[in-house]
Amino acid sequence: KAGVTQTPRYLIKTRGQQVTLSCSPISGHRSVSWYQQTPGQGLQFLFEYFSETQRNKGNFPGRFSGRQFSNSRSEMNVSTLELGDSALYLCASSTGQGGEKLFFGSGTQLSVL
Amino acid sequence: QQQVKQSPQSLIVQKGGISIINCAYENTAFDYFPWYQQFPGKGPALLIAIRPDVSEKKEGRFTISFNKSAKQFSLHIMDSQPGDSATYFCAASRRNAGGTSYGKLTFGQGTILTVHP
C-alpha cells in the first residue's frame, strides 16, 4: 500500500508570493491533517479535513488555508508569504473514523526568501 | 502556551543502554498519547501509543509508562541501538467535538537521541 505522498518535495518562494502544496493520503483514508514543523516552534497543527470539510483548525492566521477533494486528496495554500513561513509542511492521513493513528508524509520543505 | 513539555532536548547513550525520554502535559482532557520517531528527511512515524486507562504499554524494546495523577508519561528504549538514533516526539490528543477524530496532535519539542556504537 502506498504511503502518504506530498508534492513538491522542495519549494523556494519570495516574500509576498503565494504557494500551494499537495497531499495524497493513503488509499482508503478519508482524513488529512496538516502540520508545520520549524526548529523554533516544533510541530504545530494547522488544520484537518474529512470528507471535504474542515473539522479541526489550529491557531494560524487566515493566510493559511486548505481544502480537500472528493478523492480525499488535499491542498494547502499560503498567501502573502512571510519569511517566517519557511518550514517543513507535513501532511498526515488517517481513516477518519475515530482511529487515532496518523501516517505522515515526508513533507514539503518551503523556503521563503 | 506549551501544553506538552518534553525533556531532555538531547540524549546520548551507548549501544545496549536504556534511553528514557519524559513528557508532561497540562490538559486533562487529553486521552491519547503517542510517541513518534523521525529520521532526517522523513516525516514522523508512529512508534507506540497509550491511553490513560493503562499505566504501561510495551512493544518490543519500546515501553511507555504513564502516570495519570502526575500528568506525565515517558518512553523507555531498552537495548538501544545505533539505528534508534533519531528525533523522538511525544504528543497528546483528544477526540474532537464529534467524537470522530484524533487528528489534532499537540507535540512536545522533541528529543534528539544519539546511540553510540
φ, ψ (nearest 5 deg) of residue A84:
-70, -5
Interval A12-49: pLDDT, tens: 999 999 999 999 999 999 999 999 999 989 999 999 99
Using the predicted structure, report yes or no on whether residue A98 has a pLDDT greater than 90. no
Q: Chain B residue closest to A97 (CA)?
A: B100
Nearest to A98 among B36, B91, B100 (CB): B100
Other beta carbons less than 10 A from residue A104's beta carbon: 23
Mean pLDDT of the A87-102 span? 86
Cα B58 from Cα B21, distance rounded (Å): 15
- Record: contact A107-B43, CB cut-off 8 A: yes
B32 DSSP assignment = B
Measuring CA to CA, which residue among A87, A111, A109 is closest to residue A9?
Answer: A109
Residues 31-50 on B with a CB inside 8 Å of A are 32, 34, 36, 41-46, 49
Contacts A33 to B, Cβ<8 Å: 103-105
Looking at residue B102, its pLDDT comes to: 73
Interval A47-72: pLDDT, tens: 999 999 998 899 999 999 999 999 99
- Record: contact B104-A45, CB cut-off 8 A: yes
Cα B102 from Cα B71, distance rounded (Å): 19
Please confirm whether the linkage preceding A8 is cis (ω < 30° from 0).
yes
Contacts B107 to A, Cβ<8 Å: 42-44
Mean pLDDT, 10 residues at a time, chain B of 117 residues: 87 98 94 95 94 94 96 98 98 79 88 97
Contacts B104 to A, Cβ<8 Å: 33, 45, 48, 56, 58
Cα A28 from Cα A64, distance rounded (Å): 26
- Give CA torsion, residues B113, B37, A108, A47, to 10 deg: -120
A56 contacts B103 by C-beta, under 8 angstroms: yes
User: How close is the nearest chain A Cα to the Cα of B83, in Å?
Assistant: 19
Mean pLDDT of chain A: 94
B82 DSSP assignment = G
3-state secondary structure (DSSP) of residue A102: coil
Contacts A96 to B, Cβ<8 Å: 100-101, 103
Nearest to A94 among B42, B44, B103 (CB): B103
- Total count of residues recorded for chain B: 117
Our CA angle for A111, A112, B3, nearest 5°, is 75
| Confidence grade of residue A101 (pLDDT, cut at 50, 70, 90) | confident
Using the predicted structure, report yes or no on whether residue A3 has a pLDDT greater than 60. yes
- Record: contact A106-B41, CB cut-off 8 A: yes
For cell 477533494, what's the residue? A69
Strand partners, B57: B64
Strand partners, B115: B13
B73 contacts B23 by C-beta, under 8 angstroms: yes
Contacts B110 to A, Cβ<8 Å: 42-43
- Record: contact B102-A100, CB cut-off 8 A: yes
